[in-house]
Amino acid sequence: MVEHRPWNDIIAYAILTLGVFIVAFPVYLALIASTHDAATVVGGNMPLSPGGRALENYYRAVFVGGSRTSREPVGHMLTNSFISAIGIAVGKIFISILSAYAVVYFRFPFRKTAFWIIFVTLMLPVEVRIYPTYKVVSDLQMLDTYAGLILPLIASATGTLLFRQFFMTVPDELLEASRIDGAGPFRFFWDTLLPLSRTTIAALFVIQFIYGWNQYLWPLLITTQDSMQTIVTGIKKMLTTTDELAEWQLAMATAVLAMLPPVAVVVFMQRLFVRGLVETEK
């Protein structure tokens, strides 16, 4: 073992505590702001301890909406966010597990071509081709629909690569054994491969849920009606003026609500999250 110096540990604890403080402070401040009334927040002398308006602020944010800015309540935005995040995660898993199965477990003409066609999508994030994609979605009459929010964002290769990588580690003997038992491609997929892939699916789900929930530019462009907004785009519209007239306590309550689901996923499914993050980057 290398030398052990007690002050070394103390320095480490000090630096890490500082790190946690830096990381947590902006969120703490948002939490505090969401418990005070508008005047306290805007006055500029907001205390660093919670106030007594938490229930009122969250109730108004979720069900009523702001009074001055006449914004919509965020309750239905939360629903939209859940639907599109889960849609993106499930959709991506569905199309990519099937295509990875085809590429790994079958031999057919144009197999490599198909793989490369999918693979190239890794290179261009949606931000780069934003307006042409918008035009396609609008031509398909998918503006202000869940399909429009979901489908363009699942056109990427990450899932396919992840499943392909995992399938390659599955021993060939399993396929031979189930063939001897008379299983065809469907039985093998359903009874053997899918149960083995459970952890990979869960890890991908966690990552894609966060990715989908946090989308901003795409939903901003293709939702024109307030009723189709997601919470991440809705919060910005509360502050469009960025002046003192914005109802900061409601905006901060909305920010807390917008952070809660993805942060909960990371904290409570940390193992899957880390696994998914590390493996999708390979």
Partner 1 sequence: MEKSAFFNSKLLPYLLLVPQLIITFVFFYWPASQALWQSFLREDAFGLSSEFIGLENYQALFADPQYYKAMLTTVVFSTLVAALSLSIALLFATQADKNLKAAPAYKTFMIWPYAVAPAVAGVLWIFMFQPSLGTLARPLRAMGFDWNPLLNGNHALILVVMAAVWKQISYNFLFFLAGLQSIPKSVIEAGAIDGAGPMRRFWTIVFPLLSPTTFFLLVVNIVYVFFDTFGIIDAVTGGGPAGATTTMVYKVYADGRLGGDLGGSAAQSVVLMVIVIALTAIQFRYVERKVQY
Site for partner 1 in 215-274 (CB under 8 A): 215-217, 220-221, 232-233, 235-236, 239, 242, 244, 248, 251-252, 255, 258-259, 262-263, 265-267, 270, 273-274
Query: Which tokens sit at 20?
Result: 């946690």
* 281 scored as a contact of partner 1 (CB under 8 A): yes
**Cα–Cα distance for residue pair 213/225, rounded to 1 Å:** 19
In whole angstroms, the minimum distance from the beta carbon of 183 to partner 1 comes to 10
Q: Which three-class secondary structure state does DSSP give residue 137?
A: helix
Burial category of 105 from C-beta neighbours within 10 Å (exposed 0-12, middle 13-18, buried 19 and up): middle
In whole angstroms, the minimum distance from the beta carbon of 203 to partner 1 comes to 14
# of chain residues touching partner 1 (CB under 8 A): 112
In whole angstroms, the minimum distance from the beta carbon of 196 to partner 1 comes to 15
- Contact (CB, 8 A) for 199 and 272: yes
- Contact (CB, 8 A) for 232 and 219: yes
* 115 scored as a contact of partner 1 (CB under 8 A): yes
Query: Which tokens sit at 109?
Result: 């003409």
* 282 scored as a contact of partner 1 (CB under 8 A): yes
Segment interacting with partner 1, rule: CB under 8 A, options 58-66, 68-76, 197-205, 212-220: 212-220
**Cα–Cα distance for residue pair 45/22, rounded to 1 Å:** 21
**By C-beta, is 8 or 67 nearer to partner 1?**
8
**Cα–Cα distance for residue pair 74/250, rounded to 1 Å:** 10
**Cα–Cα distance for residue pair 96/205, rounded to 1 Å:** 12
Among 161, 222, 228, 253, binds partner 1 (CB under 8 A): 161
In whole angstroms, the minimum distance from the beta carbon of 187 to partner 1 comes to 11
Chain residues 118-157 in contact with partner 1, contact rule CB under 8 A: 118-119, 121-125, 127-133, 135-137, 140, 151-152, 154-156
In whole angstroms, the minimum distance from the beta carbon of 3 to partner 1 comes to 6
Segment interacting with partner 1, rule: CB under 8 A, options 52-60, 65-73, 102-110, 191-199: 102-110
Chain residues 42-101 in contact with partner 1, contact rule CB under 8 A: 42-44, 46, 48, 94-96, 98-99, 101
**By C-beta, is 82 or 105 nearer to partner 1?**
105
* 1 scored as a contact of partner 1 (CB under 8 A): yes
Closest C-alpha among 89, 78, 70 to residue 229: 78
Measured in whole angstroms, how far is the alpha carbon of residue 34 from the centre of its chain? 24
Residue at token pair 């991506």: 92
* C-beta atoms surrounding 94 within 10 Å: 12
Query: Which tokens sit at 30?
Result: 């948002």
In whole angstroms, the minimum distance from the beta carbon of 39 to partner 1 comes to 11
